[in-house]
Amino acid sequence: MLAALAGQAAAEPVASDDDSVIIGADPGWRIEDVQVRASFFDQHGRGFQSQAGDDTPGSEYMYMFQPSALITVRQSANIVHQLMVPVDAITAASPDAVDAISTASRRNIAFDFDLRSKYKVTEHDTLTSRFMAHGEEPMGGGVLGAGWQRGLADDNATVGVNGSIGIDGFDDHDHFGDFLGKTARETLNANVSASQLLSPTTVIDGSYGVTYQHGTLRTGWNAVPTTDGLLTDEVLPRGRVRQALSARLAQFIPLTHSTVKAQYRAYHDGFGITAHTIEAMVYQYLAPWLYVRGSYRFHHQTGVDFFTTAIAKPFDDMTTLRTADSDLAPFDANEWSVSASTVRGRGPFKLWSFSAELMRYTRTNDLRITVGSLSFGRPL
């Protein structure tokens, strides 16, 4: 959409002749910036939905290599595209589980093609668009989105709205791994957001979003234990409304060359999950070109109304809602990360930037993930 607008923009250049004298002629399409990151995920834990291993709950052991790239392309003075291409190479996800029938979790490659564009229509108004395609065995899907953002009071404040529609198509399975045919789910999402400068060192922003999902929301091969020691299929509602409200404060401290950020998020959905998440981040400059970052995040969620680790008979095979998915269970999650980053344009690396991060995520219902990442980038 924005590419089409770009053609119109080229035909009707916003910059006047006087501007071109001052800032030069618009050079047109060019790659502005490239960043590359490689992350390694190591996951351990157990969940009742998994049939991997000999015990119940089953293993959730997995490791994954994720290279990703972020390419910023400037089309004109007013239009910028940002393309993100993450590739998830899952080298072992519950390889002995029933879902290995599709080989989806034995060895899998998943990719995203995520293109976000910004078109500065006027000094105060910006249009955004998003096109995202996702592919992996045994599913594929995409998202189309658009938004508008307006700066107020000399950009002391901004307000914005955006929305998107997404469709996923995938193979449906039962908990034995038998193929049940093709199925799909649809997603509608709308958000409003605002930001406000509170002082020369303080900014606050917030957003509210609502998402409606419809279709096959379950993961086909997830199993639910019964009280007599057998397993049955997961059954989820076919619709889900999800709402989230978040606020974030960022404070720069000139005296110590530090930045502190705090974030709170509240969430509720039609499955009955209520969640609260707080996160704090501290950035400290060690040199004008080098800073370290430490963060801590705490997440608490209630489980869905129909979560069970042993459903009692009798129940209706087709209609009785049930899941043993550990992701839909009540739990607390703790996450911390530390990283060191250089600032491009400063210090010995000139235009290059480098970053290294170690992250640890743990849940109270037996899940532990460690992530190590390296990244680098430079403007072109």
Partner 1 sequence: MKARVLWLLVAIALVSACRIVPRNRRQHLADPTMQPDEDVLRDRAHAKIHTAREGASGGDGEPAGGGCGCSN
51 binds partner 1 per the rule CB under 8 A:
no
Name the minimum Å distance from CB 176 to partner 1: 17
Report how far residue 132's alpha carbon sits from residue 126's, in angstroms, rounded to the nearest whole number.
20
Residue count of the chain: 380
What are the structure tokens assigned to 302, written together? 């209630």
- What does the alpha-carbon distance between residue 223 and residue 232 come to, in Å, rounded to a whole number? 6
For position 340 contacting partner 1 by CB under 8 A, the verdict is no
209 in contact with partner 1 (CB under 8 A): yes
CA distance linking residue 57 with residue 48, whole number of Å = 4
Task: Kindly state whether residue 366 participates in binding partner 1, applying the rule CB under 8 A.
Answer: no
Does residue 183 bind partner 1 (CB under 8 A)?
no
Number of residues that bind partner 1 (CB under 8 A): 104
Place of tokens 């999800």: 242
Strands 58-59 and 290-301: unpaired
Q: Which H or E run contains 210?
A: strand 202-215
Choose one: 3-11, 16-24, 121-129, 271-279; the region binding partner 1 (CB under 8 A): 271-279
Nearest distance, CB of residue 13 and partner 1, angstroms: 25
Q: Which of 34, 320, 343, 378 binds partner 1 (CB under 8 A)?
A: 343
Judged by CB under 8 A, the stretch of 7-15, 22-30, 117-125, 363-371 that binds partner 1 is 363-371
Q: Minimum CB separation from partner 1 for residue 11, in Å?
A: 31
Mention every residue, 6+ apart, whose C-beta is less than 8 A from residue 1: 117, 129, 146
Closest CA to 234 of 217, 215, 250, 254: 217
| 94 is an interface residue for partner 1 by CB under 8 A | no
Interface with partner 1 includes 334 (CB under 8 A)? no
Nearest distance in Å: CB 80, partner 1? 13
Would you say 66 and 42 are in contact if contact means Cβ atoms under 8 Å apart? no
CA distance 171 to 219: 10
According to CB under 8 A, which one of 2, 115, 322, 357 is a site residue for partner 1? 357
157 binds partner 1 (CB under 8 A): yes
- Does residue 39 interact with partner 1 by CB under 8 A? yes
| C-beta closer to partner 1: residue 61 or 361 | 361
Buried b (16+ CB within 10 A) or exposed e, 289-299: bbbebebebeb
Would you count residue 33 as binding partner 1 (CB under 8 A)?
Answer: no
Instruction: Provide the token pair at 283.
Output: 């950035």
Q: Which of 71, 250, 308, 322 binds partner 1 (CB under 8 A)?
A: 250
Question: Does 61 engage in binding with partner 1 (CB under 8 A)?
Answer: no
Q: Which is nearer to partner 1, 26 or 252 (CB)?
A: 252
Residue 7: DSSP 8-state: H
**269 near partner 1 (CB under 8 A):** yes
